[in-house]
């Protein structure tokens, strides 16, 4: 796949997606978010992929949200943008939560604004000691009305989530660990080894069990979409049964299906 603003690599069951705009601290444009959606969709479909890792290029930033230099009246990219960045952002956030495989945020530096939201919606976050965390919306004239509020509150509690959003402070990796915002913090030079260790452990587990657990975690809170994902996860297993195939075979053979032995 031909990407300009991300790097997409697949190796040994792991799909690694790197936001590749280090000179902008990995702030995203409308192109970046559309490429992120493309890579996540590919990782979803590829049966060789068991875990997805999301990270940023360089050692300064994981992602610092929307690229402020393309924000204008009407939003990022201006009113004429084909797909407004804020819409693409929610699509990427939704894909991270809906892909039936664990997504790990490899937080190598600043996770700020929408970049903080991306790590919040990932299933697991492994941080370098150098990482810094925080929201920026009320400081820079924006807000994320999507998953970045609810999922944050579920991670750290409502009072702390409101503090993070309203005050726009920055938090160290150690503070993030103490408030349950990340799963592990390691010295910067050990980040890749630690992420690889978590990937290996995940890849040894039952993918279907992990898929259904992920959907169950979200099913409770995502309303109709959560129930749909949980149901469709079950449907893909049902398709593999003789009972389901009997319905398809009967249709193709122009006969009445016989489901009697599956009661």
* Residues at the site binding ligand 2NE, with contacts judged by CB under 6 A: 24-25, 27, 64-69, 85-86, 89, 110, 112-114, 136-137, 140, 142, 144
Asked whether the CA dihedral 244, 245, 248, 253 is positive or negative, the reply is negative
Minimum distance from residue 228 beta carbon to ligand 2NE (Å): 24
Helices (H), 104-220: 114-121, 137-140, 147-156, 158-167, 173-178, 191-203, 207-219
Cβ pair 20, 9 in contact under 8 A: no
Residues 6+ apart with CB under 8 A from 112: 25, 61, 63, 64, 65, 132, 133, 134, 135, 136, 170
Q: Between residues 69 and 236, which has the closer beta carbon with respect to ligand 2NE?
A: 69
Q: Between residues 166 and 251, which has the closer beta carbon with respect to ligand 2NE?
A: 166
Q: Between residues 102 and 115, which has the closer beta carbon with respect to ligand 2NE?
A: 115
Q: Is 175 left (phi over 0), alpha (psi -120 to 50) or beta?
A: alpha
Q: For the packed helices 30-45 and 85-98, what is the interaxial angle rounded to 10 degrees?
A: 20
Q: What's phi and psi for 172, nearest 5 deg?
A: -75, 170
Q: Between residues 169 and 248, which has the closer beta carbon with respect to ligand 2NE?
A: 169
Among 250, 257, 219, 12, residue whose Cα is nearest residue 100: 219
Q: Between residues 89 and 165, which has the closer beta carbon with respect to ligand 2NE?
A: 89
Q: Between residues 24 and 106, which has the closer beta carbon with respect to ligand 2NE?
A: 24
Q: Between residues 85 and 120, which has the closer beta carbon with respect to ligand 2NE?
A: 85
Cβ pair 128, 184 in contact under 8 A: no
CA 17, 56, 155 angle in degrees (round to 5)? 90
Minimum distance from residue 9 beta carbon to ligand 2NE (Å): 24
Cβ pair 106, 55 in contact under 8 A: yes
Burial 221-247 (b: 16+ CB within 10 A, else e): ebeeebeebbeebeeeeeeeeeeeebe
């Amino acid at each position: 796949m031909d990407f300009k603003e991300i790097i997409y690599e697949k190796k040994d069951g792991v799909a690694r997606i790197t936001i590749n705009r280090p000179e902008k601290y990995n702030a995203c444009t409308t192109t970046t978010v559309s490429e992120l959606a493309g890579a996540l969709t590919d990782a979803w479909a590829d049966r060789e992929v068991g875990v997805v890792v999301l990270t940023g290029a360089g050692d300064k930033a994981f992602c610092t949200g929307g690229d402020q230099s393309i924000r204008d009246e009407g939003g990022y990219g201006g009113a004429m943008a084909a797909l407004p960045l804020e819409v693409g952002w929610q699509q990427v956030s939704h894909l991270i939560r809906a892909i039936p495989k664990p997504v790990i945020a490899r937080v190598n530096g600043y996770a700020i604004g929408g970049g903080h939201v991306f790590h919040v919606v990932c299933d697991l976050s492994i941080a370098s000691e150098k990482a810094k965390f925080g929201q920026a919306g009320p400081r820079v004239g924006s807000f994320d009305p999507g998953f970045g509020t609810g999922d944050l509150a579920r991670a750290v509690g409502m009072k702390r989530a409101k503090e993070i959003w309203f005050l726009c402070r920055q938090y160290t990796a150690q503070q993030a660990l103490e408030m349950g915002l990340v799963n592990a913090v390691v010295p910067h030079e050990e980040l890749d080894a630690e992420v690889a260790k978590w990937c290996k452990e995940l890849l040894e587990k039952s993918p279907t069990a992990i898929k259904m657990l992920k959907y169950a975690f979200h099913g409770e809170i995502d309303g109709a979409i959560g129930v749909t994902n949980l149901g469709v996860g079950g449907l893909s297993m049902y398709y593999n049964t003789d009972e389901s195939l009997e319905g398809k075979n009967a249709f193709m053979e122009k006969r009445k299906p016989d489901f009697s032995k599956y009661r």
